[in-house]
Structure 1
Amino acid sequence: MGLTMYQVDAFTSELFKGNPAAVCLLDQPREDSWMQAVAYEMNLSETAFLLPEADGYRLRWFTPKTEVKLCGHATLASAHVLYTEKLLPADHEARFYTLSGLLTAKYEVNNGLIELNFPAALPFACEPPPGLLEALPVKPLYIGRVNDDYLLEVATEEEVRAVIPDFPRLAEVVRGAIVTAASAAKEYDFISRFFAPLEGINEDPVTGSAHCKLAPYWQEKLKRDTFTAYQASERGGFLQLTMTGNRVQIGGRAVTVLKGHLLV
């Protein structure tokens, strides 16, 4: 029969919105090259591979080009599969062993929200690297860095929505770039977009890992611990965020689009 695979739209309750991820349920360890080939074949921003381990699952994420250390939407998709396919009881915590350490998820039965527990990472202010503002033509109020990603705050939501990056040039400058602004809309507190052409993702539809940086940044700016955020890609998606110490709780919904078998 092969391995069971799913395609899940994460950070949305609507089909064909949010961020699509593939989830592959493994029955044994697989070579890195094999997982990379599957991710290339799926051609989504991330493909997640789940392998039962200890009291949870070994979880790895691959873009079409490379393995990544942290991915929010594919973790949400993985938890969604475990709960909806009844591989894990709704009142049990999902435990994932990853390159970023132990990550957990829990299902809120009352509202259908899945809440991820992720590490927060506050950006530090810095000068832009050469070429960044040419590749990403905005007028930033703030530029910060976390590892290989840059966060740029601009003055208005309209600026976030209007930016058109030079993707080949951006891929030569940074691994990832987040553009954000406070929102005047009542539905959410801040808005963002995320670009990572170096990893084969020109614009990611909804990025949980980017909100590990955005949540502590806006916590300092707004002097609050809880937020609703909107990622303004073409597909778009909503996230509920709560800062707890050096962790961020990332809440979202998901919907299964496809279920099938990978013939191996």
Structure 2
Amino acid sequence: MVDNKAIYQVDAFTDEAFKGNPAGVMIVDDSFSDELMQYVAAEMNLSETAFVTPSNKGFNIRYFTPTTEMPLCGHATLASAHVIYQLGIKGEDESINFKAKGGDLTITKNSDLMAMLFPRYSLNKVAMPDNFKNIVGFEPVEVYASDYNWIVALSEDESDIEKANPNFELMKINGLGHLMITSKSKLENVDFVVRCFAPSLGINEDPVTGSAYCALTPLWSNKLGKKDMFSLQVSKRQGQVSVSSLGNQVEIKGKAITVFEAKLKI
């Protein structure tokens, strides 16, 4: 019997509370309406809240920002898998199969590390957007367009990524409302760093963006000549992500921790 009232807040891509990226998770049945999902997501006011519905073939999963539904979300998928394992709905030796609007996802668990198989995103080099430096704070060396309207901008200097201070209103009106900025890392045992901004979705900066690695993994795998890599998302909360390039898929690995559980009173 599904409890439509329980909601969990999970910090994903970290094993430390109040770090990584927080996501809401609810396990619901088919009676939970789209309208109510959007209301709950707006009330939670997190970058994403996931709604998981058990099915004969695994679980259907949907993701809502405070303002809209998203086809795919990495950190909310990781958070949802964490809750399913935590509640014992699936054993730790079992895989979890999610069906999302953005693709079919498989999650496995090894100790406290969860691995997610996601589809690889396309990358097409594009011209430098006008006024990028004035809007974001640095001049990229390469710019790519990717799936779901993402723009990926590369810098040669890691400090450009850390110090960037975008103008979010100008981003939205200049085609940069979904932006990843990234560079090779100077840190030992870190391959690349990234920050992600999505003001067009009501998320100025996302703390850790699992689905971003659908584009970043093949990009950096090609540039670094490596299949397995480690990334830091250098937002204020920070997050640690291990990735592997697997042809048409990417493997995204991370940890998660439940911060609280609550009950709807409506």
**Residue 124 of structure 1: aligned partner:** 124
Whole-angstrom distance in 1 between the partners of 2:51 and 2:131 = 36
**In the alignment, is the contact (CA less than 8 A) between 1:93 and 1:106 conserved in 2?**
yes
- 1:181 and 2:183 matched: yes
Structure 1: gaps spanning 5 or more residues: none
The match for 2:224 among 219, 222, 225 is: 222
Distance in 1, Cα, partners of 2:189 & 2:64: 32
Counterpart of 2:85? 83
Instruction: Give the alignment's TM-score, normalised by structure 2.
Output: 0.95
Deviation of residue 2 (structure 1)? Answer: 5.4
1:190 paired with 2:192, answer yes
**CA contact under 8 A between 1:3 and 1:27: conserved in structure 2?**
no
2:136 maps to which residue? 136
Query: In the alignment, residue 161 of structure 2 is paired with which amino acid?
Result: V
Q: How many residues matched? A: 262
CA deviation digits over 1:80-131, x for unaligned, max 9?
Answer: 000111111111110101101211100013xx10000001114111013445
Q: Could you tell me which amino acid in structure 1 is paired with residue 152 of structure 2?
A: L
Decide whether the 8 Å contact of 2:132 with 2:139 is kept in 1: no
Q: Distance in 1 between matches of 2:58 and 2:82?
A: 14
The CA deviation string for residues 154-193 of structure 1, in whole angstroms up to 9 with x for no partner, is 0111110000000011122233100000011013100000
How far apart in 2 are the matches of 1:150 and 1:27?
A: 36
Q: Please, which moves more after superposition, 172-181 or 248-257?
A: 172-181
The amino acid across from 1:83 in the alignment is: Y
Q: Determine the C-alpha separation between the residues in 1 that align with 2:128 and 2:63.
A: 29
Q: Which of 246-255 and 120-129 deviates more?
A: 120-129
Q: In the alignment, which of 194, 204, 219 is matched to residue 206 of structure 2?
A: 204
Identify unmatched segments of 5+ residues in structure 2: none
1:24 and 2:36 correspond: no
Greater mean deviation of Cα atoms: 218-227 or 1-10: 1-10
| Matches of 1:256 and 1:206, distance apart in 2 | 16
Structure 1 residue 45 displacement after superposition: 0.3
Contact 2:103 2:119 (8 Å CA) reproduced:
no
Q: Which residue of 2 aligns with 1:152?
A: 153
> Within 1, Cα distance between the matches of 2:65 and 2:172?
15
1:30-55 deviation line (CA, Å, top 9, x unaligned)? 22221111100000000000111112
Mapped pair 1:13 → 2:15: yes
**1:62 offset after TM fit, Å?**
0.3
Identity of matched residues, %: 39
Which residue of 2 is the match for residue 241 of structure 1?
243
Aligned-residue RMSD, C-alpha: 1.3
Tell me the distance in 2 between the aligned counterparts of 1:58 and 1:200.
24
TM-score, normalising length: structure 1 = 0.96
Distance of 1:245 and 1:154 partners within structure 2: 25
